[in-house]
Amino acid sequence: AEYFPLVQKLGGQVIRISPVSTDYINPLDINTNYSEEENPLTLKSDFILSMCELIVGGKDGLQPVEKTIIDRSVRMVYQEFLADPKPEKMPILEDLYNILRNQKEPEAQRIATALEIYVHGSLNVFNHRTNVDVNNRFVCYDIRELGKQLKKLGMLIVQDQVWNRVTINRAQHKATRYYMDEFHLLLKEEQTAAYSVEIWKRFRKWGRHSDGITQ
């Protein structure tokens, strides 16, 4: 909240992400410039694995079989969109949940059950298509009302949204500056920390400026 006066003074936009907000960002958003690789799903799969680790992993993180199932499901959930990349075909978390439910392995059912509260339950704030315009030159994501259960997940998803913006801006020869408060929260789980480090290296490689703020 301490950033709001600055954002307003500079004509920026505040996007409020909370269980009662009508501002939504879709964690499954992707664009064709998402990765330098020919297949953008490689990097997106890393993000979704990190997201699932926060939701499912527990003390020991995701097991190899679970990672395989998630990676397979990610490739399946994007098939229709990548064949015809229209906004209305962008998958949401519920689509991934349904694919997991249709897998035969018991591990897939465990992952889907863990996701259920984020799809059909009280924490379904991230089960929507993105409905906010992030084309303003100064955007502030407000996640302070997410609470302990959702805050780290919200930070990870916002980081992915920023990466989507970086890739679009790069294609348009625009610079991007990214500042994340309480960055240390993303370094507590192994998969999430590894993904965050990789993304920040890519920020740097693509000539973008990023700062993590901690106490």
Residues 182 and 43: their CA atoms lie apart, in Å, by 24
Residues in the chain: 215
Residues 137 and 13: their CA atoms lie apart, in Å, by 8
Per-residue pLDDT of the chain (215 residues; tens, 9 = 90+): 678 888 889 999 999 999 889 999 999 999 877 766 667 888 899 899 989 998 987 777 789 999 999 999 999 999 999 999 999 999 999 999 999 999 999 999 999 999 999 999 989 999 999 999 888 889 999 988 888 778 889 988 998 998 888 888 888 888 888 888 888 878 877 777 887 888 888 877 776 788 888 87
Residues 68 and 2: their CA atoms lie apart, in Å, by 42
- Indicate left, alpha or beta for 13 from its phi (over 0: left) and psi (-120 to 50: alpha): beta
Question: What pLDDT shows up at residue 183?
Answer: 84
Question: What pLDDT shows up at residue 136?
Answer: 86
String of DSSP letters for 78-95: THHHHHS--GGG---HHH
Residues 70 and 210: their CA atoms lie apart, in Å, by 29
Tell me the residue ranges of DSSP E strands in 93-162: 139-142
In our burial notation (b when 16+ CB lie closer than 10 A, e otherwise), range 141-152 reads: bbbeebeeebeb
Inter-residue contact 53 to 191 (CB < 8 Å): yes
Question: What pLDDT shows up at residue 37?
Answer: 65
For the chain, first and last CA: distance in Å? 17
Partnered with residue 83 across adjacent β-strands are: none
Question: What pLDDT shows up at residue 199?
Answer: 80
Tell me the residue ranges of DSSP E strands in 17-83: none
Question: What pLDDT shows up at residue 23?
Answer: 94
Question: What pLDDT shows up at residue 163?
Answer: 87
Helix, strand, or coil here: 207?
Answer: coil
pTM for this predicted structure: 0.87
Q: What is the CA radius of gyration of the chain?
A: 17
Inter-residue contact 213 to 180 (CB < 8 Å): yes
Residues 75 and 120: their CA atoms lie apart, in Å, by 23
